[in-house]
Structure 1
Amino acid sequence: MTQTLKAGDFTGLATDYSQHRPDYAPSVLDALLGMLPKPVDRIDFVDVGAGTGIWTRMVSARGVNSSTAVEPNDDMRANGERDSAGAPIAWYAGSAETTGLATGCCDWLTMASSFHWADFDAATREFHRMLRPGGRFTALWNPRLIEVNPLLVEIEAHLATLRSDIKRVSSGRSGITETLTEQLWASPYFEDVVYLEGRHVIAMTPQRYLGAWRSVNDLRVQLGAEKFDAFLSFVEQRIAGLDVIEATYLTRAWSAKRKG
């Protein structure tokens, strides 16, 4: 499976993804909720590209009126449904371009760590259709800030010894995020674009830290099975004896209001 995995395909990685990926900064969630046109308990919320529901569950736990998760990958969605058992979240198969949900079904629509996989024009047209007047679309990511921890810098640098041309730039600090503010302002579907960010530190057990690495798709694709396993072995050796690995994350969010 590892050798044939394609970029963006998290099949087989969902369990590690769900159990070990970090939450988003609670302060950013507070700020985003404050931008919405209704009290929290009246907000109908949709999370597209929900993965295993890490962000979906954070929002749902704030007491929104309804929570809906849309995820195209069967493995990720199945794990999300399992991990959300008992939470009032409805799960559906669908994509950013074709969610399958009703017109005017929500007040807040988000894509957490997934908007870089979507077709911008098709997705924003679909989101405009789904949002009610005054509703908002939010794209957010949660990249690591490894530069604040020398150990994490050392671990990241080891990748270059396994493949000299390794491309390891977080989707939350590259690609679409470099121009997203301008793209949203230029969109015929959205206005009032607001950017915000917040740092948060997660104290990870060695098991969780390794699990987060196991859930990474781009390294598996670039390194192949043998070198990826060698990298995991290096990480395991490097953190041996540590009780906690402090990882700093930067939640970055773009919130835009529906036009019309």
Structure 2
Amino acid sequence: MKPAARAAGDFTGLAADYSRHRPDYCPAVLSALLGLLERPAARLDVVDVGAGTGIWTRMLAARGVRSATAVEPNDDMRAHGMADCADAAGTAIAWVKGDGARSGLPPQCCDWLTMASSFHWVDFDAGTRECHRLLRPGGRFTALWNPRQIELQPLLLEIEAQLATLRPDLQRVSSGRSGMTATLTERLCASPYFDDVVYLEGRHVVSMSAERYLGAWRSVNDLRVQLGAEKFAAFLAFVERRIAGLDRIEASYLTRAWSARRREPAA
């Protein structure tokens, strides 16, 4: 019997690889985003929606924010996130089951609301309305992604090209360099919920073992859905053969962030 088809956005069963192998975001971008807020980190209540296993949430907590709340709909991801965050340095992180349109949190509960590699899974209008509801006056919403810069490394280009061989019409849902990000600045500027839209980006290099590099691929949802189980397994086998014998894989990432201030009613 064939396994049941995986739904887009369903990370059940992928959380262990996601937790162990996904890279952090660029620390310089985090510093710049903190600089846009009107108060020091120690006076910030932060909510991270679509937190996954808490990679970005832990980075926020490590900066000494007053409180950090992680909102995540997937039980598997949330369980791994809670375990990962139990021993993390910095502010304790509270975990809540919810999503970008229905967080379950009270209104005006935070100064900063972030969505790291998750805003593309949310309806834009419903998501921005919920963000506005949760933010206090003067608070900011930030959507960010951490796409790879494969064009800088021939090996990574070769591996990516194999995907096109397996499925020429493949669409990367969460690459952070296409799709909704192409028009995100304009859509946020036109939104009735936000103003003062700022875009930031920063490069960083992550040195990965072969095991971690392969594990990061195993944690990807959109490829599994579009390729199907058989072709996805063939792709992983290709990657494993291609990186065999390598001690490290240097992967370049580009953290891209859009930050917008909560719009207040006209006086």
Q: TM-score, normalised by structure 2?
A: 0.94
> Structure 1: how far apart are the matches of 2:215 and 2:63?
27
Residues 180-237 of structure 1: per-residue CA shift (max 9 Å, x gap): 1111111111100000100100000000000000001111112221221111111111
Q: How do 1:54-65 residues align onto structure 2 when only pairs under 5 Å count?
A: 54-65=55-66
The alpha-carbon distance between structure 1 residues 248 and 231, as it changes in their structure 2 partners (threshold 3 A), is same
> Structure 2: how far apart are the matches of 1:160 and 1:191?
39
Q: Is the 8 A contact 1:20 1:212 kept in 2?
A: yes
Matching residue of 2:157: 153
Matching residue of 1:85: 86
Matching residue of 1:106: 110
Determine if the alignment matches structure 1 residue 185 to structure 2 residue 186: no
Runs of 4+ in structure 1 deviating by more than 6 angstroms, as ranges, are none
Deviation at 1:3, TM superposition (A): 4.7
Letter in 2 for 1:220: R
Determine if the alignment matches structure 1 residue 28 to structure 2 residue 29: yes
Matching residue of 2:47: 46
Q: Over the residues paired in the alignment, what is the CA RMSD in angstroms?
A: 1.3
SS at match of 1:171: coil
SS at match of 1:173: coil
> Structure 1: how far apart are the matches of 2:175 and 2:193?
24
SS at match of 1:238: helix
Equivalent position to 2:128, from 118, 124, 128: 124
Matching residue of 1:165: 169
Q: How do 1:111-260 residues align onto structure 2 when only pairs under 5 Å count?
A: 111-168=115-172, 170-260=174-264
Q: Is the 8 A contact 1:2 1:221 kept in 2?
A: no
Identity across aligned pairs (percent)? 74
Deviation at 1:167, TM superposition (A): 2.7
Unmatched 5+ residue regions in structure 1?
Answer: none
Unmatched 5+ residue regions in structure 2?
Answer: none
Q: TM-score, normalised by structure 1?
A: 0.97
Deviation at 1:130, TM superposition (A): 1.0
Matching residue of 1:73: 74
> Structure 2: how far apart are the matches of 1:230 and 1:97?
36
SS at match of 2:205: strand
Residues 14-40 of structure 1: per-residue CA shift (max 9 Å, x gap): 110111011000000000001111111
The alpha-carbon distance between structure 1 residues 238 and 62, as it changes in their structure 2 partners (threshold 3 A), is same
Structure scoring higher RCO (CA < 8 A, sep ≥ 6) equals 1
> Structure 2: how far apart are the matches of 1:121 and 1:226?
36
Deviation at 1:254, TM superposition (A): 0.3
> Structure 2: how far apart are the matches of 1:29 and 1:172?
17
Letter in 1 for 2:9: G
